[in-house]
Amino acid sequence: MLSLSHITPLARRQEYAACLSQRYDMIRIAPSPIHQQGVFAIEPIKKGTRILEYIGEKIRKDESARRLAQRNDYIFHLNYRYDIDGASLDNTARYINHSCDPNCEVDNSSQHIWIVALRDIASGEELSFNYGYDTRDYENFPCHCGARQCCGYILGREYWGRIKPQR
Ligand SMILES: C[S@@+](CC[C@H](N)C(=O)[O-])C[C@H]1O[C@@H](n2cnc3c(N)ncnc32)[C@H](O)[C@@H]1O
Ligand SMILES: [Zn+2]
């Protein structure tokens, strides 16, 4: 039989920290018009709010390159040495879709990756951020964000001037 004594104080603290970084009072996962599942605000969220931490396994860049080659879509840049593999289903932020006119941004300035509100977000709005993809194979990543100024592809804003105009 599983005994509670198997849960170490450290594991309990880590679980508690993970709970705090997943603010289920503010958001929920639901079907998205952009792609499959998305994350939606269930109450108004103020500009600057840290909404969710992008949690996952902290891995070195060489391991990250190996997993990317296996088409893991959930690897996120943390710093020059490490990435976060957010593929675990515990990582609610993995359901946030890309938008060319996002309402969130990513802050990785604190050894953690936070999804932060770029502006006030209304209850019911889908959360999004710009995935920041570069131009490599960009035509394989068409964007369905629906924004008026959508560039047509999942692409970092700084690359928009470098792609072929869409017909
Ligand atoms: C991290 S997942 C996002 C969550 C995803 N909707 C799901 O249900 O698992 C990233 C994948 O979602 C899809 N996606 C996200 N944003 C998109 C967009 N603006 N247009 C088209 N596909 C998008 C792409 O297939 C991308 O590889
Ligand atoms: Zn778009």
The domain limits of the chain are 4-55+90-129
**pLDDT for residue 163:** 85
The protein residues having their C-beta less than 5 angstroms from ligand 2 (an ion) are 100, 143, 145, 150
Rounded to an integer, the average pLDDT of 107-117 is 93
- Residues having CB closer than 6 A to ligand 1 are 32, 34-38, 73-74, 94-95, 97-99, 143-145, 154
Radius of gyration of the chain (CA): 17
Q: Homologous superfamily of 4-55+90-129 in CATH?
A: SET domain (2.170.270.10)
pTM of the predicted model as reported, rounded to 2 decimal places: 0.87
35 Cα–ligand 1 center, Å: 5
Angstrom CA distances, 74 to 25, 82, 147, stand at: 24, 14, 23
